[in-house]
Amino acid sequence: MKPEPDGLAPAHDGGLVLRGIGAAPGVAIAQAFVFERGKVRTPRYHLPPEKIEAEVTRLLAALALSDEQLGRIQAAAGGEAPDRLHLSGAREYRLILEAHQAMLRDRTFVAEVLRLLREERLNAEWAFRREIRRIKGALGQGGDEYFRERRADLDFLADRVVRNLLGLTVDVAIEPPAGCVLVTRDLSPTDAALLLVPGKVAGLVIDLGGRTSHAALVARAREIPTVVGTGDASSRIQNGALVAVDGGHGTVTLRPTGSVLRRLEAGRSRYLEEEVALRATSELPAVTRDGVHVRLVGNLEFGAEAPSLWAHGAEGIGLYRTEFLYLDRPDLPSEEDHYLAYRALLLAAGERPVTIRTLDLGSDKLPGAMRRREANPAMGLRALRLALRSPALFRAQLRALLRASVAGRLRLMFPMVSGLTEMREARAQLEQARAELAREGQPMAAHLPVGIMIELPAAAAIADRLARECDFFSVGTNDLIQYAMAADRGNPLVSHLYRPLHLGILRTLEFVVRSAHEAGIPVAMCGEMAGDAAHAAVLVGLGFDELSMNATSIPQVKRIIRALSAEECRTIARDAMRLGTQEEIERFVRERMRERLGDLEAESSV
Ligand code: PEP
Ligand code: MG
């Protein structure tokens, strides 16, 4: 259904429908509890010289008070064993709270606020807000959802300090009525820590924010149906009114009655039944009719998402994008920060393999001090090339990975490898870190598989040579297609060229798989192409051993793999590659899938 331009549409019978972004699936029908934090205005004035020192004292007192409040909230959100902390919503919150505390204690940051106060004679509220604005600027102005959310986190911190300076209430001890739908304009990490308690809050509606806001992340991890980005739901919905949140479709229905209510209730029952069915298939292996096992594993950005991957049947983690560890903070993560995150994930995965990719940061995605301007960051100093230029940064991560390797079945992977030289350099740095740790007497796994991502056309072209010197490949089609087609993966103007079934891409994949197998190593795919059910037959036919995707794609891809034989998949792939245009190939694959599977593939995208 197309969204209404104003986000509001009449329901067929009873109720109004607000549209937003589905951030956590499921349906909740309950009374609304509208949580209003209210905006705080920042007073701006210049200080007379004789008031400056008193203002310094006032500022330092507000910083100390804010620090103390954050500590209290952290303590309230804690209580979990250290190894589990990285995997729970509470841990995600605590990381943000810690980052906020670190900032309040950061000498350079505080010195700059004091400079604004003393030299430019700005009042404390203004000075603090201005320095936060500068840091937000350093995070970039891009529309990237992730950075928008991090900028919002900084606003929450500024609001706290300004409220404390003004003597306003900061953390209200509200108690939402049990089983309510929480409706709010925005939800700070601290408010979320206090309010998003499973069992207490049945559903969540937020006017602002996107899928990667911390509230959304934890709502997903705790399975609280959530819709974000509704625009003005919090001013339209009255406290106590019945609302229905459909987190799968991104809709919020106000005061549903009659057939609308019945439909929503049926939707809720269906969702719960599907969840049960899905969990039932999660135990089944992804094996073709003729017995070929294709390992289905998950892509993950935050530890908190791991339980959802297991629930959807992931046999392991195929890609952990570690760059997210760098992005929530003003400074760089320490070796210990890395170590704790990796160890927690490995322990939670148990026997399952976990592929951790070293940082894929770019010049546009770095903590303030390391940022640079580059005309084309996608082709700039990013990922492995950045790591090799920043030995201290890379060393901290490699040491942490080696130390964590004893906690589970770790596989280490380098991103954006351009050729043999870079791969050898990266491996040399790994060996150096290993030797260092051995001298320190640190335990490490006896064998640590080391693989590379194939996402540059030049690397794909020498896959046969690369395969002789590493333990596995994982094809990153998001970048591989972007570079092969010269079509920016985020640019809608050229999205018509971004076609996974282009013959050039299929030939590249065929060569990569053959090269890996001839060298006796397994080959995975962790780009988005792997999670599209429409491509499953072709990828099995090409011979991929492992496909890594988002949690929700796993059951559908599994159904297709279980319904086909590897032999017929090979025929589909071979015949498809005899055709010419991408349209012909797409049509051919679609028709073959329909013949074989009826409407099973109807939900897929080709
Ligand atoms: C890819 O390029 O396909 C990939 C998985 O890496 P990322 O999306 O993180 O660039
Ligand atoms: Mg990539």
Which of the residues 86, 100, 312, 526 is marked catalytic?
526
- Residue nearest atom 1 of ligand 1, based on CA coordinates: 476
CA distance 321 to 461: 25
- Strand locations in 360-496, DSSP E? 409-414, 450-454, 472-475
pLDDT at 439: 98
Tell me the C-alpha distance between 463 and 46, whole Å: 64
**Closest-lying ligand 1 atom to the alpha carbon of residue 529:** 3
Distance 460 CA to ligand 1 centre (A): 15
With beta carbons less than 8 A apart as the criterion, state whether 257 and 13 touch.
yes
The rounded Å distance from CA 375 to ligand 2 centre is 19
**367: confidence class by pLDDT, cuts 50, 70, 90:** low
Task: Domains for the chain: give ranges and CATH numbers.
Answer: 8-35+173-277 (3.50.30.10), 49-166 (1.10.274.10), 292-451+527-600 (3.20.20.60)
> Can you tell me the mean pLDDT for 468-489?
94
377 CA to centre of ligand 2 in angstroms: 13
For atom 8 of ligand 1, which residue has the closest CA?
478
Q: Which atom of ligand 1 is nearest to the CA of 474?
A: 5
Confidence bin at 432 (pLDDT 50/70/90) = very high
Catalytic residue among 86, 214, 502, 535: 214
Which of the four pLDDT bands, split at 50, 70 and 90, describes residue 10?
very low
Q: What is the pTM of this model?
A: 0.68
Identify which has the larger pLDDT, 140 or 404.
404
What pLDDT score does 146 carry?
60
Q: Is 526 labeled as catalytic in the residue annotation?
A: yes
Of the chain, the percentage scoring pLDDT greater than 70 comes to: 85
Higher pLDDT, 355 or 367: 355
Residue of higher predicted confidence among 598 and 292: 292
Tell whether the model's pLDDT for residue 92 goes beyond 90: no
Q: What is the pLDDT of residue 327?
A: 66
Contact 596, 572 (CB under 8 A): no
* 378 Cβ below 6 A of ligand 1: no
Higher-pLDDT residue of 93 and 496 is: 496
Phi first, then psi, for residue 577 (nearest 5°) are: -80, 0
Predicted confidence (pLDDT) per residue in 43-67, tens digit: 899 999 999 999 999 999 999 998 8
Q: What is the CA radius of gyration of the chain?
A: 26
DSSP 44-95: --BPPGGGHHHHHHHHHHHHHHHHHHHHHHHHHH--S-HHHHTTSHHHHHHH
Whether the CB-CB separation of 144 and 57 falls below 8 Å is answered with: no
pLDDT at 139: 67
Residue 602 pLDDT exceeds 90: no
Any ligand 1 atom below 6 A from CB of 455:
yes
Lowest mean per-residue pLDDT among 248-257, 511-520, 579-588? 248-257
Q: State the average pLDDT for the chain.
A: 85
355 lines ligand 1 (CB under 6 A): no
Residue 546, ligand 1, Cβ within 6 A: no
Least distant ligand from the CA of 477: 1
Say yes or no: CB of residue 323 within 6 Å of ligand 1: no
Q: Write the CA distances from 378 to 365, 370, 385, integer angstroms.
A: 11, 17, 12
DSSP-derived 3-state class of residue 205: strand
Residue 560's pLDDT band, with cuts at 50, 70 and 90, is very high
Main-chain phi, psi angles of 47, to 5 degrees:
-90, 140
Given a cut of 60, whether residue 82 has pLDDT beyond it is no
Q: Is residue 86 annotated as part of the catalytic site, yes or no?
A: no
